[in-house]
Amino acid sequence: MIELKTPAEIERMHVAGRFVAEALSEVGRLADVGVNLLDLERHVRGMIERRGAESCYWDYAPSFGKGPFRNVICLSVNDAVLHGLPHDYVLRDGDVLTADLAVGIDGWVADSARTIIVGNAAEEDLRIIRATEEALEAAIEVARPGNRLGDISAAIWAVASDYGYPVNTEFGGHGIGRTMHEDPHVPNKGRAGRGLKLRPGMTLALEPWLARTTDRIVYDDDGWTIRSADGSRTAHSEHTVAITEDAPLVLTRRDTEEPAARGGSARRVSTEDA
């Protein structure tokens, strides 16, 4: 069942979206060579607590995970792309880091993800990040009344194909609103003109993710972290989008789009930062 949101309800989701955008920008600012993933997680946890927000990940226990998830953010490194369980890992020069965050504020949820590179960036890593970002923008562009769900899926698939990347269909985008995962499922591969007709008031989390050389995935022993089956590097870009009578409204857009590569001297995040 799909709940169409009123403009007032979409604005309440936008409040959560602005916070998610701020938190992901903060992760991008702090992530550097020598920083531990656990310190990044603690910092975001402190931000959520101070805002009075609610983590959508804490105690999350879906059928595909080894639940419950006991962190507030997913942090995935290199060949890990989805549901990365924060653990005792110190970021290294050239690491590819994906941060994925969903929170609720006053009963309304927003969800977003971004991939950055720590330290010196390899061109092939920048390329796959660009592919997911361009696929996301293409998907947003067609998220308009009268189009169909398949138009979104086809837009993502077309960009991935142009770049030469395969597309996995096991995990994709989803409806969002009062909870993190609502109907409908939004595949990252599909045919234009097919599927559910898009209507004003629909709110969707669109999230193209790619691995360089495979569409197959494997799970870590932690039961959560999903990696490319062949160990190739990955990237993931996600925004929460509202379909309106006019242009699509991106509820998790960052005020400034930071570069994917993060350089500079190491800055360790202490628990005092949280």
pTM: 0.92
The reply to whether 11 sits in an annotated binding site is no
d(CA 231, CA 217): 9
Do residues 209 and 177 make contact, with C-beta atoms less than 8 angstroms apart? no
* pLDDT tens for each residue of the chain, 274 residues long: 899 999 999 999 999 999 999 999 999 999 999 999 999 999 999 999 999 999 999 999 888 888 799 999 999 999 999 999 999 999 999 999 999 999 999 999 999 999 999 999 999 999 999 999 999 999 999 999 999 999 999 999 999 999 999 999 999 999 999 999 999 999 999 999 999 999 999 999 999 999 999 999 999 999 999 999 999 999 999 999 999 999 999 999 987 655 565 443 333 333 333 3
CA angle 252, 256, 261 (to 5 degrees): 100
The reply to whether 236 sits in an annotated binding site is no
The reply to whether 100 sits in an annotated binding site is yes
Phi, psi of 239 (to 5 degrees): -140, 150
The reply to whether 22 sits in an annotated binding site is no
Bridge partners (DSSP) of residue 114 are 99
Q: What pLDDT is recorded for position 256?
A: 66
Q: What pLDDT is recorded for position 86?
A: 97
The reply to whether 9 sits in an annotated binding site is no
The string over 32-47, giving b where at least 16 C-beta atoms fall within 10 Å of a residue's C-beta and e elsewhere, is bbebbbbbbbbbbbeb
Q: What pLDDT is recorded for position 265?
A: 36
* In the chain, where the domains are located: 7-250
Bridge partners (DSSP) of residue 60 are 69
d(CA 104, CA 177): 9
CATH topology of domain 7-250: Creatine Amidinohydrolase (3.90.230)
